[in-house]
């Protein structure tokens, strides 16, 4: 029996010997295919291809663990995978590609003396990275370096590769034998040191501390863009915003490729969301990269703030006390941050200002499609050009992520274009032109990271978060668009224009997610995204670590509202509200979503706490009533959205509005009486409604709302606005009619 333990949820995945052999053959076959794409026997190219396979392809094949993708009626949708539990399904089929239907991820535990949560890939990459840096420090011949790297990457699957007839070069095979404990390495390599590194890369943190050579140190380089949101959202136009976001992703990716090309993909620890972390051989190389990161980011953007730092650490610390060791690197980065100064300090009174940002001095002119030439600054010019061309738009990357389908993936036809303005996000002619600004990230990830004791698990965590966030985003968007835009072509034809995608992804990297979408798409996206990530990180019964989950803030506002304001409110207020509620609930029910619908920008609250009390809370003479369930879980939002859609279809928008108004304006007791009167009228058939019957339909209610009664009911341990428990206070009733009234506005 083979087993891998998911260190972040406590779930266990068991395999029989036959299944583990089948998974190994499959992974070896994919690695072989990757190697065969390299022409000739350039060992460096082979080693680089193998590094990319383990560092990127393998993790994307394995994560997410809990959901895949399937195509139904030409549309993509998520499929939940069986919970493996302790059961072993003899007929398990393994994924051959990322998110491959309902097939199981081909998990390869590290085995040997490694802790149960290490994957073979984590160990392979750490060993290769250490061997790589070791050789470079000692000036080992480059040819031999790449032979050693290739041995690290192919050694663990050497038997499977040989069985399928793939011949490794003789010198690689000799090194594989040596690493496996047989024979001697070439004279240039120190057998003792190498063997210690090899062993230290595959054992628990505490053991690695003793095994790794004490004298061996590596340099960690970190680079990160500061004030990313200020840079991306300083201008109101969607083109410039998209441009700013794409430039940052592009330069981050380009630099990661440079590091991989010059040093090997195994040394890149993280490259996402304009943030880079990688290993280099020494402080001098580190300093050179520091300067290069700063230079490249500034050159690409025309002037973004970027901080970079390099710190040399004993390899024992990276293997045995990772979190603390990285803390030293981040202290350096913090110090570097405090020293960076904006490139554009102030505009002098006599200088002409840029017509787009209105802040920086203009350096040239641009010609708008209509109208006269206008002054523009360099930063805005670069963003504008990028945004219009969208050379590497995130939408395209999502389409690649879900393999195939291309533009047709969204169900909008292959000619659907990127939105050019926020107005373009809106489909058809809804009553209100509402755009959702969605911002989110992981809850409690700081605590997870603090528990990363070893560089191997740290790498697994980073790769997993990246793969899960992308997959969940792509699938959630595909489903949200499909449900919200049933007949896109008719709508587009009516509007006499080419359909454009009803969303624009802006931030996506690491655990961060940010997007603009048409109102209904944004809300349904939030529900699906949290449902998928909750599924991925469902803890095993009795797991003692905090539950990993995501929170999202969703502001639905008029398409004309100023972007800087809506983004700041969604991220600064709503997301914080959602996160606070998740924390107060001890992450018991998973991720949370805080949404708010404001028909016009001037209704965005200046003070959210005050707004909550005024709008959603009634003290009442006998009992207090809270008129919202927010922040909600994915299941709760799904339930409310479904109920709102049914109320709208049944023509109860007016009845809902009157009922909500009774609760908002009146004394709770009176509002409850009004509700009961309405219900009694329906019962006696004096009202053709069925409004309260629809509200009280208990089908598909999530367990957390099992006791829900729209006239008001205490709901278990739920506190108003997800606040902290109050000892000895009066119990609050919940009558979430305002939630439904707001959601109906978005769906109309």
Residue ranges binding Zn ion (CB under 5 A): 354, 356-357, 360, 377, 380
For the CB of residue 231, give the shortest distance to Zn ion in the complex, in Å: 11
Count the residues in the chain.
748
Instruction: Answer whether 185's CB lies under 8 Å from 178's CB.
Output: yes
Q: Indicate the residue among 356 and 644 with the shorter CB distance to Zn ion.
A: 356
Q: How far apart are CA 57 and CA 105, in angstroms?
A: 12
For the CB of residue 423, give the shortest distance to Zn ion in the complex, in Å: 22
Q: Indicate the residue among 268 and 357 with the shorter CB distance to Zn ion.
A: 357
Q: How far apart are CA 290 and CA 336, in angstroms?
A: 10
- The residues with which 104 forms a beta bridge, in sequence order, are 94
Q: Indicate the residue among 222 and 248 with the shorter CB distance to Zn ion.
A: 248
Give the 3-state secondary structure of residue 707: coil
Q: In terms of DSSP bridges, do strands 364-366 and 434-443 run parallel, antiparallel, or are they unpaired?
A: unpaired
User: Roughly how many angstroms between the first and final C-alpha of the chain, as a whole number?
Assistant: 55
For the CB of residue 288, give the shortest distance to Zn ion in the complex, in Å: 32
Extract the tokens encoding 158: 């050497």
For the CB of residue 507, give the shortest distance to Zn ion in the complex, in Å: 21
Q: Indicate the residue among 197 and 357 with the shorter CB distance to Zn ion.
A: 357
For the CB of residue 250, give the shortest distance to Zn ion in the complex, in Å: 20
Extract the tokens encoding 285: 């190389």
Q: How far apart are CA 90 and CA 466, in angstroms?
A: 31
| Alpha helices (runs of H) in 485-562, residue ranges in sequence order | 488-494, 519-536
For the CB of residue 366, give the shortest distance to Zn ion in the complex, in Å: 10
Contact residues for 417 (Cβ-Cβ < 8 A; gap 6+): 498, 499, 500, 501
For the CB of residue 342, give the shortest distance to Zn ion in the complex, in Å: 13
For the CB of residue 375, give the shortest distance to Zn ion in the complex, in Å: 9
The string of DSSP codes covering 644-666 is HHHHHHTT-HHHHHHHHHHHHHS
Q: Indicate the residue among 241 and 552 with the shorter CB distance to Zn ion.
A: 241
Q: How far apart are CA 588 and CA 216, in angstroms?
A: 44
Q: Indicate the residue among 265 and 356 with the shorter CB distance to Zn ion.
A: 356
Which 8-state DSSP code applies to residue 392?
T
- The residues with which 438 forms a beta bridge, in sequence order, are 515, 554
Q: Indicate the residue among 373 and 447 with the shorter CB distance to Zn ion.
A: 373
Q: How far apart are CA 55 and CA 72, in angstroms?
A: 31
For the CB of residue 379, give the shortest distance to Zn ion in the complex, in Å: 6
For the CB of residue 422, give the shortest distance to Zn ion in the complex, in Å: 19
For the CB of residue 595, give the shortest distance to Zn ion in the complex, in Å: 32
Q: Indicate the residue among 22 and 361 with the shorter CB distance to Zn ion.
A: 361
Q: Indicate the residue among 357 and 422 with the shorter CB distance to Zn ion.
A: 357
Q: How far apart are CA 278 and CA 673, in angstroms?
A: 65
Which residue, 153, 160, 161, 180, is CA-closest to 47?
A: 153
| Alpha helices (runs of H) in 506-626, residue ranges in sequence order | 519-536, 563-569, 575-584, 608-616
For the CB of residue 99, give the shortest distance to Zn ion in the complex, in Å: 40
Q: Is the dihedral of CA 554, 558, 564, 569 positive or negative?
A: negative
For the CB of residue 515, give the shortest distance to Zn ion in the complex, in Å: 24
| Alpha helices (runs of H) in 138-267, residue ranges in sequence order | 142-154, 158-163, 170-179, 191-200, 205-211, 228-233, 238-263
Q: Indicate the residue among 149 and 360 with the shorter CB distance to Zn ion.
A: 360
Cis, peptide link before residue 64, omega less than 30° from 0: yes
Q: Indicate the residue among 309 and 354 with the shorter CB distance to Zn ion.
A: 354
Q: Indicate the residue among 247 and 513 with the shorter CB distance to Zn ion.
A: 247
For the CB of residue 385, give the shortest distance to Zn ion in the complex, in Å: 13
Burial class for 599, CB neighbours closer than 10 Å (0-12, 13-18, 19+): middle
Q: Indicate the residue among 360 and 580 with the shorter CB distance to Zn ion.
A: 360
Q: Indicate the residue among 316 and 360 with the shorter CB distance to Zn ion.
A: 360
Q: Indicate the residue among 222 and 305 with the shorter CB distance to Zn ion.
A: 305
Instruction: Answer whether 705's CB lies under 8 Å from 639's CB.
Output: yes
For the CB of residue 557, give the shortest distance to Zn ion in the complex, in Å: 25
For the CB of residue 358, give the shortest distance to Zn ion in the complex, in Å: 7
Which residue, 424, 430, 72, 458, is CA-closest to 239?
A: 424
Q: Is the dihedral of CA 564, 566, 570, 572 positive or negative?
A: positive
CA gyration radius, the chain: 28
Q: In terms of DSSP bridges, do strands 67-72 and 75-80 run parallel, antiparallel, or are they unpaired?
A: antiparallel
- The residues with which 227 forms a beta bridge, in sequence order, are none
Backbone angles phi, psi at 600, to 5 degrees: -130, 160
The string of DSSP codes covering 81-103 is PPP-TT---TT--B-SSTTBTTP
Q: Indicate the residue among 193 and 385 with the shorter CB distance to Zn ion.
A: 385
CA atoms within 13 A on the CB side of 672: 19
For the CB of residue 243, give the shortest distance to Zn ion in the complex, in Å: 12
Q: Indicate the residue among 299 and 335 with the shorter CB distance to Zn ion.
A: 299
Extract the tokens encoding 609: 């706490």
- The residues with which 596 forms a beta bridge, in sequence order, are 555
């Amino acid at each position: 029996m083979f087993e891998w333990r998911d260190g972040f949820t406590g779930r266990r995945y068991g395999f029989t010997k036959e299944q583990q052999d089948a998974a190994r053959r499959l992974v070896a076959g994919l690695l072989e295919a990757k190697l065969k794409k390299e022409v000739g026997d350039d060992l460096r190219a082979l080693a680089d291809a193998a590094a990319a396979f383990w560092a990127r392809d393998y993790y994307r094949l394995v994560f997410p663990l809990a959901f895949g993708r399937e195509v139904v009626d030409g549309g993509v949708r998520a499929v939940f995978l069986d919970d493996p539990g302790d059961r072993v399904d003899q007929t398990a089929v393994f994924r051959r590609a990322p998110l491959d239907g309902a097939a199981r991820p081909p998990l390869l535990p590290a085995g040997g003396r490694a802790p149960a949560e290490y994957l073979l890939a984590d160990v392979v990459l750490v060993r290769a990275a250490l061997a790589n840096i070791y050789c470079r420090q000692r000036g080992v011949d480059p040819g031999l370096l790449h032979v050693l790297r290739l041995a690290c990457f192919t050694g663990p699957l050497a038997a499977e590769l040989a069985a399928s007839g793939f011949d490794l070069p003789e010198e690689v095979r000799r090194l594989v034998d040596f690493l496996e404990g047989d024979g001697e390495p070439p004279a240039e390599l120190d057998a003792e040191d190498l063997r210690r590194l090899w062993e230290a890369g595959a054992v628990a943190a505490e053991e690695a501390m003793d095994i790794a050579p004490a004298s061996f140190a590596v340099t960690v380089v970190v680079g990160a863009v500061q004030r990313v949101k200020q840079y991306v959202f300083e201008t109101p136009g969607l083109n410039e915003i998209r441009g700013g976001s794409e430039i940052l992703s592009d330069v981050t990716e380009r630099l990661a490729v440079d590091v991989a090309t010059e040093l090997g993909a195994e040394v890149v620890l993280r490259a996402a969301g304009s943030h880079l972390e990688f290993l280099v051989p020494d402080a001098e190389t580190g300093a050179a990269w520091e300067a290069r990161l700063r230079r490249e980011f500034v050159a690409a953007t025309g002037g973004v703030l970027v901080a970079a730092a390099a710190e040399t650490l004993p390899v024992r610390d990276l293997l045995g006390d990772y979190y603390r060791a990285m803390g030293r690197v981040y202290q350096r980065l913090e110090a570097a941050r405090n020293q960076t100064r904006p490139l554009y300090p102030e505009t002098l009174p006599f200088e002409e200002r840029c017509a787009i940002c209105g802040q920086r001095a203009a350096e040239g002119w641009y010609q708008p499609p209509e109208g006269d030439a206008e002054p523009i600054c360099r930063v805005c010019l670069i963003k504008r050009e990028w945004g219009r061309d969208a050379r590497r738009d995130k939408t395209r990357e999502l389409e690649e992520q879900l393999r195939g389908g291309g533009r047709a993936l969204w169900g909008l036809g292959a000619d659907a274009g990127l939105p050019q303005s926020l107005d373009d996000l809106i489909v058809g002619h809804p009553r209100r032109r509402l755009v959702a600004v969605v911002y989110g990230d992981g809850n409690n990830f700081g605590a997870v990271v603090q528990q990363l004791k070893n560089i191997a698990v740290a790498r697994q965590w980073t790769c997993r978060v990246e793969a899960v966030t992308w997959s969940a985003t792509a699938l959630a968007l595909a489903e949200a668009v499909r449900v919200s835009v049933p007949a896109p072509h008719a709508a587009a034809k009516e509007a006499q224009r080419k359909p454009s995608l009803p969303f624009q992804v802006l931030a996506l990297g690491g655990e961060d997610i940010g997007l603009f979408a048409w109102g209904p798409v944004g809300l349904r996206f939030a529900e699906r995204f949290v449902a998928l990530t909750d599924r991925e990180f469902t803890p095993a019964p009795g797991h003692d670590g905090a539950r990993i989950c995501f929170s999202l803030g969703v502001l639905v506002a008029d398409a004309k509202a100023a972007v800087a304001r809506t983004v700041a409110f969604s991220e600064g207020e709503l997301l914080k509200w959602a996160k606070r509620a998740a924390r107060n609930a001890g992450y018991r029910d998973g991720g949370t979503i805080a949404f708010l619908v404001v028909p016009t920008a001037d209704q965005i609250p200046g003070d959210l706490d005050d707004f909550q009390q005024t709008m959603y809370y009634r003290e009442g003479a006998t009992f207090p009533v809270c008129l919202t369930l927010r922040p909600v879980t994915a299941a709760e939002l799904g339930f409310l959205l479904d109920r709102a859609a049914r109320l709208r279809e049944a023509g109860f928008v007016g009845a809902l509005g009157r009922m909500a108004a009774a609760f908002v304006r009146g004394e709770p007791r009176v509002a409850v009486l009004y509700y009961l009167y309405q219900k009694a009228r329906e019962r006696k058939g004096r009202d053709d409604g069925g409004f309260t019957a629809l509200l009280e339909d208990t089908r598909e209610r999530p367990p957390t709302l099992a006791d829900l009664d729209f006239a008001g009911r205490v709901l278990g341990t739920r506190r108003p606005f997800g606040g902290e428990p109050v000892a000895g206070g009066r119990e609050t009733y919940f009558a979430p009619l305002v939630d439904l009234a707001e959601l109906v506005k978005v769906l109309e």
